[in-house]
Amino acid sequence: MKPRSSYDIPVFGCPLKTLCSGTGIPLFLMDHLRQLDFLITRETSYERTVDDFLLQLESNDTLRELKEHQDMVILLNEEGALIRENGNWTLMFTPSRGEKQNLAKEADLYAVYEQLEKQYQKGAICKVPIPKRSLKALVSHSAPLCILDEFCQRQNGGYLAVAEEIVLEGPERLFQNVPVCRYRDLSTVDLDEIENYHAIKTLMEEYAYAYDNPLRAENNILPISIAVFGPPGSGKSFGVKQIAKSQERFRISSLNLSQYRSATELFAALDAALVYEDHLIPLIFFDEFDSELDGVSRGWLKYFLSPMQDGEYTLDGRTLSIKGAVFVFAGGTAPSFPAFLPDDEEKALEFQRVKGPDFVSRLKGILNIKGPNPTTVTDRQHMIRRALLLRNLFMGQAYNFYSPKTGRVNISLSLLRALLRVSEFRHGSRSIEFIVGMSRKAGLSRYTPSCLPLAEQLDIHLDVRDFLSKLSFEQLMGDMVDQYARIAHEKYRRQRIEDAIKFGISQDEIQRIQSEDRMADWDDLSEPYKESKRSQIRYLGERFDQFNTGIGLRPIIPGAVDTLSELYGPVLEQLAILEHERWMLDKKANGWTLGKLDTQLRQHPDLLPYDQLDESVRDYIRVSLRNIPTYLKEIGYELYRKTYNQ
């Protein structure tokens, strides 16, 4: 840390010119900029605050003088700061604390920063480098900051390795390095869920503040309404209840719409739930609010409008007032808010008939709960959500596989990887709970594939063919995947240089090629490039048992006559099709879309079906596959042509 005299520390509320034009290192609060009307979110997430600030710094000419400073410190609060040193940005944050505005305007900013550095030296605070992104990338949000992504991509093995560690040893190391959202029994590291939960928490805090306002006197305060969506078994009610319990201001009730046959029954239940005692605010869950009434889909919606808008409901011919309440509508038919809305003209007309637009317009907050399945092609955080759920299940239902003394779960690694990587659990968290709950546990201390329910039962809860192919591959190769990937990468590096020399490329150009990120030594290679090499053999290997040419993968059998030592003809072509499918899936998972090549916007022109690619591109894919038998041979494996006895 530089001497105190090196910093320019403004008085809170100083004009922008004073903030930007000092000769020393600027040290100020992010709230300085918010007060000066710059669009920077607050108390949502560290990541969103950073991206909002960087966008303002890069795009807003009024901050030009500040942008020219290569060193600065911007305090977010007592637990975090955004730091620029020699033009490089670093975020300092406290994992267990959200971005709360808890720093007094008159605070000694240098002393706060000094304390942050001391806490970092003690390991109580983390630092994460902010990846460099152009203005184009910041404006398009093509590469938003996610600390969980940054952490996983610094670990050897990426998301899968982090998820394995969570299940086997616990989430403590993860929780020490990424932002964690905690409300009583709720814990999540998923960025979208963190932001959603914080938004709901803020909404409820503001409502409680208004409810307590002395100026309100005895006048009623209109209810606020929140809708919660998620796949079955995702715990839609759980998170909101934990937030409410953490604030200790709400009396929680649940009304399940599937149990009522008429609006009269609903309003009688609502009347019983609106209890005003001990200065607690009624918080009422309407479960299955989008269920049928008298055969009409979402037929209940119209009956919520008056309580939501006017704070009134009718019971026994009387109009009754609501003195204040939080309504939480938990959906049962739509996995997300966008899925709740109509997606064509016919559905839009039906939505209008049941007063859907009127209902939506009265909502003050939306919460989407993700569950253990990917919600988008870019959602790799689902593996972490699965791992946290599995860890809790092994510490609860399957406790005989968990050692309280060591904190470890005793599970077959191939089985664990298959559970973490399977394409989907058909009924969300409930499917995982069923699989673990119905597994054989009596008298066993290790969870292995032999503990699983029958395949017919598994297929109710997951794609059993996909699961078994992943399990089979992990049993066959397991940790050898990394060795294959290392060899494939080193061969790729060598081949690129040999080709460059062969075609007479200049020495300067060869040096440029050698300096590319993808040409780094394996130990220095970034995790996305490593994962690309791993995913190639996983993707192909898992499909060999489905492959109609009858190719298999096995440890080398000396002298075997069915070994495939070369790839050519139809076999090579079908492998090339699979490899292109794999490449596109990886690209899309990293946020790439079809378009003119642009690394900042993550656009690539080859995100097309294989048969629509230029022949030169297809030939490149074929060439990249021809060496697979050689790579496999170096780690003791081979491809072979399967034969079947007739």
pLDDT at 546: 67
pLDDT at 538: 95
% of the chain exceeding 90 in pLDDT:
72
pLDDT at 645: 46
Specify whether the CB–CB gap between 255 and 269 falls below 8 A. yes
Asked whether the predicted pLDDT for residue 97 surpasses 80, the reply is no
Calculate mean pLDDT across residues 411-426.
Answer: 96
SS (H, E, C) 146-198: CHHHHHHCCCCCHHHHHHHHHHHHCCHHHHCCCCCEEECCEEECCHHHHHHHH
Spatial CB neighbours of 8, under 8 Å, sequence gap ≥ 6? 22, 23, 24, 25, 26, 27
d(CA 260, CA 135): 54
% of the chain exceeding 70 in pLDDT:
97
d(CA 402, CA 167): 10
Site of tokens 């298959």: 418
Asked whether the predicted pLDDT for residue 570 surpasses 80, the reply is yes
Please report how many Cα atoms fall inside a 13 Å half-sphere around the Cα of residue 246, on the Cβ side. Answer: 20
Secondary structure class of 72 (helix, strand, coil): strand
Secondary structure class of 126 (helix, strand, coil): strand
Site of tokens 């008159």: 106
What confidence category does residue 644 fall into, taking pLDDT thresholds of 50, 70 and 90? low
d(CA 56, CA 60): 5
Helices (H), 328-370: 337-340, 345-353, 356-361
Secondary structure class of 341 (helix, strand, coil): coil
d(CA 53, CA 38): 8
Specify whether the CB–CB gap between 582 and 536 falls below 8 A. yes
Provide φ and ψ at 239, rounded to 5°: -60, -45
Spatial CB neighbours of 376, under 8 Å, sequence gap ≥ 6? none
pLDDT at 416: 98
Asked whether the predicted pLDDT for residue 218 surpasses 90, the reply is no
Least confident of 138-142, 318-322, 541-545, 610-614: 541-545
Exposed/middle/buried for residue 34 (C-beta within 10 Å: 0-12, 13-18, 19+): middle
Cα 624 versus chain centre, distance: 32
Specify whether the CB–CB gap between 30 and 19 falls below 8 A. no
* Higher-pLDDT residue of 542, 15: 542
d(CA 78, CA 311): 40
- Residue-wise pLDDT for 102-133, tens only, equals 667 778 899 999 999 999 999 889 999 999 99
Per-chain mean pLDDT for the chain: 91
d(CA 277, CA 280): 6
Task: State the pairing for strand pair 250-256/224-229.
Answer: unpaired
What confidence category does residue 431 fall into, taking pLDDT thresholds of 50, 70 and 90? very high
Other Cβ atoms less than 10 A from the Cβ of 320: the count is 16
- Residue-wise pLDDT for 366-396, tens only, equals 998 888 999 899 999 999 999 999 999 999 8
- Would you tell me the crossing angle of helices 569-589 and 615-625 to the nearest 10 degrees? 100
The CA-atom distances, in angstroms, between 298 and each of 130, 353, 361, 364, 645 are 45, 10, 16, 20, 57
d(CA 551, CA 540): 10
Helices (H), 21-85: 30-35, 46-59, 64-67
pLDDT at 504: 87
- Residue-wise pLDDT for 453-471, tens only, equals 999 999 999 999 999 999 9
Site of tokens 């309504």: 327
What confidence category does residue 646 fall into, taking pLDDT thresholds of 50, 70 and 90? very low
